[in-house]
C-alpha cells in the first residue's frame, strides 16, 4: 500500500491519509458588520471541493483571534459566536465526507491591516478599513509598512487570552485540530526572532525570553483544547538571514520545547519575517527543514514547499522526511489531487457515494 495513503493517528484523531491542505488565506470574508470574519458560500465551496477530492486533513486558513489580529479586513475570525455558527456548516460537511477539519489560529502582528493581494496588498490606514498594527517592538516589516505599536505586558497577556478564547470557539465550531500560527512574520514569529524582537524585558533578548510569549499561547490553547485532540504549530524554520535572525538550530531546539508543552505536530515552513531576503526555491525546497526536525526531535512533522507530484510526495513520507505533506498551490489548481495520486500510487481512498456508478 502507498505510504501516502496510510492513516495516521494523533492522540485520538485519525486522519485517513497523509495528503493535507495547509492554511491559505482567501481574503474573502465580509470586512465589517454583523457577519465580519465569518465564512460564507465561497469558503464552503472552496473547502468542500478539497474534501470531496479526498484530502485527508484540511486546515482552514489563518483565522484571527481578534479583529486587529487579521492580516486583512477580509480575513476569517473566531472572536464571536456568529463566526462559530458559520464555521459549523463547513466542519459538518468535511467530517461527513471523511476529511478531518482543522483551523489555524492567528494574529497578524506588524503585518496586519493590509489590502487584498489582488489589489496590491498594501497597508491600510483607518480611513480604508485599516487599523494600527501591534508587535513585540516598534519595528516595521519594511519601508512600506507603518511602525507598529510595541505591546505592553498587559496587552501581551490579553492576546494570550484571545488565543485561548478562539480555541474554545474552534472546538464549538466542530474543528478536530487546532494549529497555532507561528510562521511567516506574523505576531508569534515576530516574538521568536531577534530580527523583529528588540525588547529588553521578560519577552525579549535571550532565547528563553523570546519564546516565552509563544509557550504561553501554546499552554493557554492546550489547556482549553481536549486532551484527546491534537494541537499543531506552524513555524518558519529560518528567517533566511545570514545573521541576526531565527535559525534552523533554533527551530530544532524549540521543537523539543513545543513537544514538552503538548504540541503534537510541527508544520514546517520558512521565511516571511524579513523583507528583501533571497530564498532558493525549487521542488521540495523546504522539505529538508522538516526532515531535520523529524530526525532530531520527538515531534511529528509535516512538510511544505512546491510539493506537486505524487511520486515526490510518496518519497517524502516513505523516506521518513515527514509524516505528511501539505499541498498548497497544487490543491488550488487541482482539488482532486489526492484522488489522482491514489490512482497513480495504488492507494486506497474514500469515494463519495455520489461518485459511484453501477455498470
Catalogue the active-site residues.
Answer: 186
Task: Name the grid cell of 80.
Answer: 464571536
Around 151, how many Cα atoms within 13 Å sit in the side-chain half-sphere?
Answer: 26
Residue listed under C-alpha cell 507530484? 309
Neighbour count for residue 183 (Cβ, 10 Å): 26
Residue 40: Cβ-neighbour burial (10 angstroms; 0-12, 13-18, 19+): middle
Listed residue (217, 201, 198) closest to 209, CA to CA: 201
Q: What are the φ/ψ torsions at residue 19 (nearest 5 degrees)? A: -95, 110
Are 246 and 194 a contacting pair, CB within 8 Å?
yes
Q: What is the CA radius of gyration of the chain?
A: 19
Distance CA(330)–CA(352), nearest Å, equals 22
Helix (H, G, I), strand (E, B) or coil at 199: coil
Listed residue (304, 172, 157, 158) closest to 232, CA to CA: 304
Are 100 and 177 a contacting pair, CB within 8 Å?
yes
Amino acid at each position: 500500500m502507498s505510504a501516502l495513503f496510510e492513516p495516521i493517528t494523533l492522540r485520538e484523531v485519525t486522519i485517513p491519509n497523509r495528503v493535507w491542505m495547509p492554511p491559505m488565506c482567501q481574503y474573502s470574508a465580509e470586512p465589517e458588520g454583523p457577519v465580519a470574519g465569518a465564512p460564507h458560500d465561497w469558503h464552503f465551496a472552496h473547502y468542500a471541493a478539497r474534501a470531496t477530492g479526498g484530502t485527508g486533513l484540511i486546515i482552514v486558513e489563518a483565522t484571527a483571534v481578534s479583529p486587529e489580529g487579521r492580516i486583512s479586513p477580509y480575513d476569517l475570525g473566531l472572536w464571536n459566536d456568529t463566526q462559530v455558527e458559520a464555521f459549523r456548516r463547513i466542519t459538518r460537511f468535511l467530517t461527513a465526507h471523511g476529511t478531518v477539519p482543522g483551523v489555524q489560529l492567528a494574529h497578524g502582528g506588524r503585518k496586519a491591516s493590509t489590502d487584498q493581494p489582488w489589489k496590491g496588498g498594501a497597508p491600510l490606514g483607518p480611513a480604508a478599513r485599516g487599523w494600527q498594527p501591534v508587535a513585540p517592538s516598534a519595528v516595521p516589516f519594511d519601508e512600506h509598512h507603518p511602525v507598529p505599536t510595541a505591546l505592553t505586558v498587559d496587552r501581551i497577556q490579553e492576546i494570550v487570552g484571545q488565543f485561548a478564547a478562539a480555541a474554545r470557539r474552534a472546538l464549538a465550531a466542530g474543528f478536530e485540530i487546532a494549529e497555532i500560527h507561528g510562521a511567516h512574520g506574523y505576531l508569534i514569529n515576530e516574538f521568536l526572532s531577534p530580527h523583529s524582537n528588540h525588547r529588553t524585558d521578560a519577552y525579549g533578548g535571550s532565547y528563553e525570553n523570546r519564546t516565552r510569549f509563544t509557550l504561553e499561547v501554546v499552554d493557554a490553547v492546550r489547556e482549553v483544547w481536549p486532551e484527546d485532540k491534537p494541537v499543531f504549530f506552524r513555524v518558519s524554520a529560518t528567517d533566511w538571514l545570514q545573521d541576526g535572525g531565527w535559525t534552523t538550530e533554533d527551530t530544532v531546539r524549540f521543537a523539543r520545547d513545543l513537544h514538552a508543552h503538548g504540541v503534537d505536530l510541527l508544520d514546517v515552513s520558512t521565511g516571511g519575517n524579513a523583507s528583501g531576503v533571497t530564498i532558493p526555491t525549487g521542488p521540495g525546497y523546504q522539505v529538508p527543514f522538516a526532515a531535520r526536525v523529524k530526525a532530531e526531535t520527538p515531534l511529528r512533522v509535516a512538510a511544505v514547499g512546491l510539493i506537486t507530484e505524487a511520486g515526490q510526495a510518496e518519497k517524502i513520507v516513505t523516506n521518513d522526511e515527514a509524516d505528511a505533506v501539505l499541498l498548497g498551490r497544487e490543491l488550488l489548481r487541482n482539488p482532486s489531487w489526492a484522488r489522482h495520486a491514489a490512482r497513480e500510487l495504488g492507494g486506497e481512498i474514500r469515494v463519495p457515494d455520489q461518485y459511484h456508478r453501477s455498470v
